[in-house]
Chain A
Amino acid sequence: MHIPRKEEEIVKRTISRNDDFRVLQHNIKRPEGIDKVTGKAIYIDDLQTENHLYGKTIRSTVAHGILKNIHFKDGIPWDEFVIVTAKDIPGKNVVTLIEDDQPYLCEREIMHKAEPLALIAHEDKHLVEKALNYVEVEVEELPAIFSIEDSQQNKVTLQQSNLTNEFHVGLKEISEDVWTECDQIIEGTYETGAQEQLYIETQGIIGQVDFDGDAIKKVSVWGSMQCPFYIVKALMPLFDVEETQVRVVQTETGGGFGGKEEYPNILSGHAALLSWKAGGRPVRMIYDRQEDLWATTKRHPSKITIKTGFKSDGTLHAMDIDLNLNAGGYITLTPLVLSRALLHCWGPYRCANTSANARAWLTNSIPFGAFRGFGTPQAVFAMELHINKCAAELNIDPAELRRKNLLQYGDTMPTGQVMDEKIDLDFLLDRSLEKSDYVNRRQQIEQFNQSQKSSGGLKRRGIGLCMNFHGGTFAGSGETHMNSHVAMTLDAKGHVDILAGQVEYGQGTITTFVQIASEVLGIPVEWISKHQPDTDVVPDSGPTVASRTTIVVGKMVERCSQALLKKLSEVGLNKDYTANEFQQAAQAYHNKHNELLYVKVKFEAPPDQLEWNEETYEGAAYAAYTWKCDILEVEVDLVDYSAKCDKFISVVECGRVLNPIIAAGQIEGGNAQALGFGLYEDTVLQEGGMANNQYTNYIIPTTADIPEMDIEFIEFPYLDYGPYAAKGIGELPIDAPAAAVAAAVAHAMGNHFICDIPILPEKIMVVAEQAEGI
């Protein structure tokens, strides 16, 4: 049922039509929406269990040291408690992810504050909280390091080397000759903080181990998560059991933003360990907000230095990027985050000479991990703010400097990947300038600032512009390695159930999959459901991360639907069937086979996909790119030095938009979270632990701090990699607005750039009070 698109029809055309499709491009209702808003949806803390215990974690209060002893002091009936320490662990004490460096429970060397040391459980929820105060941990403290600089300078060496990974793209180095060909060389260093995901539902898992005599029969966990199959892989070695002996069930999940990509591996291990030690009683481990903020991963802090050389006409000629991430105390997903940061760091520009190097460094901070954007927001912040800074120094309008250097169809990226999508970034920029009335607004703002200055006024305004791309799916050949599957069942009544490991955590997975299947199958959306991710039932379709759900797994839903139709054609379903005839065919199939119709498809890489070389970092890094331009305005108040964003437009290219409201929601949410990253969200790390681990002190913007946003989708013609030419959209929006808002603040402050985010009022004050002419 593929509908071929006429290229000329789509180029430079904004999306407002929904006439081509029956279901796609329409705002169908979320199938799970009513249950969510009426409180019927079952989140992990709502899940009823019997005879359960409440589990708690004893954590390190030092950043680096040797664990000597754990004392359980008088005043608590310890004999009623279940206690697990590293010694008890039946299998391997390693959180399975990329490296084998992180234990479930510390055995000897403590690497960061909040590191889990032991677990306790009791049936009295309040007593188990109180008991934590009666535990004394004996530690021999060791010197610790917290910053990228201290790690680079080897002030303390952690594990074998502080450098966890190093990747390189482009020229080995940029030669002196090339630099001398440039008329102006501009350098800048950019830093970003440890943003917290702050999903509304805290982390929570219920674990239960079933026994067969003394032997483990089954290890089961239920909970809030993004990647059920990661947890299966993590629990197998922990208990030394087979894949079939582990069952992971995702319950309704209240947000993830990457924060529930790898952390639930640890929590699942903890809950299951306590249940195992308790002889199989279910163990509930639901973090409260403080523990969640204190113990779980955040965005990797970064420090990025960019040196660029320009020709006198503004042509970008050389670009040298040195990208560094703080990994924290364990490696977690750092190599992948680092790789993604590197693969986005040069921005949507053409440049004859590029050299980019990326390194990640161990410290004794809490481990940093996955967060929407996955390294990209750090890289894009640096490059996009740098381009604005260059524009100021070159005295060229930031829009014009970009236009001069925008990547074009057929250009080669620093990885050697040829841009073979028919991109038209000039159009993206033009639409954005038009929509925001950029040229006039910039002029009006400068006049406004002049008149404020001369009248002693205390308001300043600024406008900021940024552009970026985001590579969807896993980088390189990741998807092929992943080997994802999607399945479907059809019952006699014509009800279709989609089986995939993808989770719904608010972003619209269920709706999107149901829409795609409905479009292909030609049946109402009400006849289709998506099965709850339960690893005993659904196939592994890969994790719910990396903007891959729609483009990769959605495509498999499309192919699986086609496979299902093929099966039905065997029982006489004709070409132009009605929904009624579909039902009859379903019945006919069951009459004939007397079983559920089950079809399954496997990921297939597009035949023409370019190779990716993991060693040299050359080739096609991503199968598809999405594009965006943000233009926003801020008002800076010189009484309290606050910067408030009060105008915001985004123009977005993400292939075909399957559900306009969900897509716009992703953009608005990503933009808002990015404004938090740029202006508000400050994780105060004291000795690597989050000191402001409360909602009241970790400031995220509220609706009162976020302007209404004007969002527009455009389409570039695109090879049909995704379903119906859709791409992913989850991460694209969060990449650039932090730089746009920083650029707008700089514009308001007479081109004084604040290059480390969040740009808190305290930082604006320093510029306002010290710089001339503000």
Chain B
Amino acid sequence: MRSYLPDYPVINPTSLDEALEVLAAKSNIKPLAGGTDIMVYMDTGVFPASTLLNLYSIQDFSKTPEFSDGHLKLNPLSTYQHARTDQAIVNAFPLLAIAAKEISVLAVQSRATWIGNVANASPAADGVPALMAYDAMLKLSSKDGQREVPLHQFYQGYKQMDLQPNELITEIQLPPLDPGWKDYYRKVGTRRFQAISKTLLAGRIKLNEGRVIEDIRLVFASVAPYTLRAVQTESVLRSRPLTPEIIDEAAQAIQDEISPIDDIRSTETYRRQVTTNLIRDFLNSNLTK
């Protein structure tokens, strides 16, 4: 059953300060970015009555991401479309472009924001894993000031975030990348496009001359209550030579780190098996290169 629209008044702040002021003064405020998650929640009637804070009315936010000296800053209105079409970003952070292309269709990609994807905190989010694999940092702002939180420490449980009711996510920062990393992104849904992930791996690996894993990132969707960076499995692999044996070890380790469930989209067994297959596929593809 749909939500009752008059239950959702909208406030249109014109500046960031004004928005932060509203957040500090009132309770039960929900930021509204692209609205592509919120609209679905309203359609199914699961969005609690609240006041919407329309971020589109804020003049301070430019939509285009800032990219200089290898630093990328995504602001609250930066959409997937930007990451797909800005060639400098595509070259520097290819996973963002790949993830952006996998998310829904052009209409949604042109409206939906990266920050909305982060703040929606869905374990099935497709944008978050790419950001997390690049060690994204979040800038949180409130009337009282600003703080920074690494994205991989931002989630604390299902839809639980290190985010206060008076705070707004005002930036996602990606640090410059050092060379030598290899990227991997594979989304698994029941059909090729327009699918909610049943599991997903955004992976990055840096091998040195002697085929030793200098560093690695393994980020998964839909196999834990929130986007999971598999730090334990990463540490099994880090500083070890990439061999078939160590791939087996990693495939074993990931099983203890994930906690997938049965739901209307898939089964726990399938998610476990395919997650293992994804790790193997990722590591195997680097074995011989």
Contact = CB atoms under 8 A, between A and B. Distances in A.
Interface string B183-201: 0001010111111100000
Contact of B264 (A127, A697, A765): A697
B190 A699 contact: yes
Contact of B273 (A642, A692, A700, A769): A769
B227 to A, nearest CB: 19
A761 B43 contact: no
Contacts of A641: 270, 274
A127 B194 CA distance: 32
Nearest to A763: B270
A699 B44 contact: no
B190 A684 contact: no
Contacts of B44: 290, 694
Contact of A126 (B5, B194, B273): B5
B1 interface: yes
A706 to B, nearest CB: 10
Contacts of B180: none
Interface string A629-649: 000000000111110100000
A455 interface: no
Interface of B: 1-2, 4-6, 40, 43-45, 186, 188, 190-196, 264-267, 269-270, 273-274, 277-278, 281
Given A129-B1, A697-B265, A639 B277 contact: yes
Nearest to A700: B191
Nearest to A695: B194
Given A290-B43, A639-B274, A762 B266 contact: yes
A240 to B, nearest CB: 34
30 contacts: A126-B2, A126-B5, A126-B6, A129-B4, A133-B1, A133-B45, A288-B2, A639-B277, A639-B278, A639-B281, A640-B188, A640-B274, A641-B270, A642-B190, A680-B191, A694-B44, A697-B265, A699-B190, A699-B195, A700-B191, A701-B191, A702-B191, A702-B192, A702-B193, A705-B191, A761-B190, A761-B274, A762-B267, A765-B269, A765-B274
Interface in A736-768: 760-762, 765
Contacts of A129: 1-2, 4
B1 to A, nearest CB: 5
Nearest to B277: A639
Nearest to A697: B264
Query: Which of A126, A680, A700, A769 has the most B CB atoms < 10 Å from its CB?
Result: A126
Contacts of B40: 696
Interface of A: 126-127, 129-130, 132-133, 288, 290, 458, 638-642, 644, 680, 684, 691-692, 694, 696-697, 699-702, 704-705, 760-762, 765, 769
B192 A705 contact: yes
A388 B278 CA distance: 33
Contacts of B1: 129, 132-133
Contacts of B195: 699
Given A639-B277, A696-B194, A704-B191, 5 more contacts: A692-B265, A696-B196, A702-B193, A704-B193, A765-B274
B191 A762 contact: no
A40 B93 CA distance: 45
A688 to B, nearest CB: 15
Query: Which of B40, B190, B266, B281 has the most A CB atoms < 10 Å from its CB?
Result: B190
B265 A704 contact: no
B281 A458 contact: yes
Nearest to B196: A696
B41 to A, nearest CB: 12
Contacts of B269: 762, 765
A644 B190 CA distance: 11
A640 B191 contact: no
Nearest to B2: A129
B277 A640 contact: yes
A592 B31 CA distance: 75
Given A130-B4, A288-B2, A702 B273 contact: no
Contacts of B264: 684, 691-692, 697
A113 B195 CA distance: 27
Nearest to A698: B264
A121 to B, nearest CB: 16
Contacts of A639: 186, 274, 277-278, 281
A628 B263 CA distance: 38
